Copies of this chain bind each other. A is one copy, B any other.
Amino acid sequence: MNTPSFNIAAVERDTGLSKDVLRMWERRYGFPVPSRDNHGERCYPAEQVDRLRLIKRLMDQGHRPGKLIATPPDELTALTPRRSKPAMSSMPVETGELEELLALIKQHDAAAYQQAMQQRLARQGLQRFVQDTVAPLTQQVGEKWEDGSFEVFEEHLFTELTKRLLRQAIATLPGGPRGPRVLLTSVPEETHVLGLLMVEALFALEGAECIPLGTQMPLLEIGRAAEAHQADIVALSFSAAFPQRQIPGLLQQLRLVLPKNAALWAGGAGVARIAQSDDAALITTLEQAVSELADWRGRTAPGS
């Protein structure tokens, strides 16, 4: 009983591949080939689930499922990122220091990581800490996860510890809200919160009034929240992993349920490759977020 078998729902949960896709691949490519239980339902052995997870990871890097499934399992692990990474390690400065921080995570030494980050925060100040430490670190972790040198749980640990640092830093900021009211959240299915926290830190530094609603808000609820809080700006975060095809439609629907005078900003790695939109302002870098905030103030303050 060392190889527990998973039903199709469990495989969907664990791999992120929908039931439809799993059945379709079986039909088309002949993989995966689960055995069946007494009732004729699929039972996936753990070994196939692992291969599926690997395939999913490579797909997120731009490989195509047809090729991946045709590749023998042994060669799969040797595949490297295929998607263009021109911006990779665009911060040669301090790469060594960042590597040290990542090494601490890799060694599962939570305490040492926290301490090292606290020191950096104290040394750099919150703004530079976010822009020069947290942001590149997050990107590096993403890359390392993609090329397989970080396990999922190591990424989770990194995220959890870093979230704490940022939230703690935000909490200690003096609250002198003078700027716009910014509602920060993400749509359902989008669980990544680090980007939101980074933006919140920068905005809070600028004196904006941030209303953090966490992740995964249903669209209609975002509309209600914007109204109830009289938000000036609704800021959404889309991670690189979010299915890009859905984003334009989501923004359009959201625009319809938002109050007219509320601005809609969409940011994160997920919107970098999205065509410009009439429904929302697309923000691809932290610097741009800050400058958009300044622009907003420039547009609004003189008028009122």
Spell out A's residues near B (CB within 8 Å). Answer: 1-2, 4, 6, 9-10, 13-15, 46, 49-50, 53, 108, 110-111, 114, 151-153, 156-157, 159-161, 163-164, 167-168, 170-171, 175, 185, 187-189, 191, 211-214, 216-222, 224-225, 228-229, 246, 249, 252-253, 256-257
User: Which label, helix, strand, loop or mixed, suits the secondary structure of the A interface?
Assistant: helix
In the complex with contacts A167-B167, A171-B164, A253-B6, A211-B110 CB distance below 8 A: yes
Alpha-carbon distance A4/B223, docked complex (angstroms): 13
Contact present for A153 and B228 (CB under 8 Å): yes
The 3 closest A-B pairs by CB, nearest first: A153-B225, A13-B188, A14-B218
Q: Which partner residue on chain B sits nearest A216 by CB separation?
A: B191
Which residues of the other chain, B, contact A160 by a CB distance below 8 angstroms?
212-214
Alpha-carbon distance A219/B4, docked complex (angstroms): 11
In the complex with contacts A4-B253, A168-B167, A222-B153, A188-B14 CB distance below 8 A: yes
Which residues of the other chain, B, contact A253 by a CB distance below 8 angstroms?
4, 6, 10
Q: Which partner residue on chain B sits nearest A165 by CB separation?
A: B171
Contact present for B108 and A229 (CB under 8 Å): yes
Say which residue of B4, B153, B170, B220 sits within 8 Å of A256 (CB atoms). B4
4 extra interface residue pairs, beta carbon distance < 8 Å, beyond A151-B221, A151-B225, A152-B217: A1-B256, A4-B257, A13-B218, A164-B170
Alpha-carbon distance A252/B162, docked complex (angstroms): 32
Task: Name the distance in Å between A264's Cβ and chain B's nearest Cβ.
Answer: 14
Which residues of the other chain, B, contact A211 by a CB distance below 8 angstroms?
108, 110, 157
Which residues of the other chain, B, contact A221 by a CB distance below 8 angstroms?
151-153
In the complex with contacts A151-B228, A171-B168, A156-B4 CB distance below 8 A: no
Alpha-carbon distance A228/B109, docked complex (angstroms): 11
Alpha-carbon distance A96/B222, docked complex (angstroms): 30
Which residues of the other chain, B, contact A2 by a CB distance below 8 angstroms?
256
Which residues of the other chain, B, contact A214 by a CB distance below 8 angstroms?
156, 159-160, 163
Alpha-carbon distance A257/B111, docked complex (angstroms): 27
Contact present for B185 and A228 (CB under 8 Å): no
Which residues of the other chain, B, contact A187 by a CB distance below 8 angstroms?
13
Which residues of the other chain, B, contact A175 by a CB distance below 8 angstroms?
111
Q: Which partner residue on chain B sits nearest A50 by CB separation?
A: B220
Q: Which partner residue on chain B sits nearest A228 by CB separation?
A: B108
Q: Which partner residue on chain B sits nearest A1 by CB separation?
A: B256
Alpha-carbon distance A221/B54, docked complex (angstroms): 13
Which residues of the other chain, B, contact A216 by a CB distance below 8 angstroms?
191
Alpha-carbon distance A201/B153, docked complex (angstroms): 21
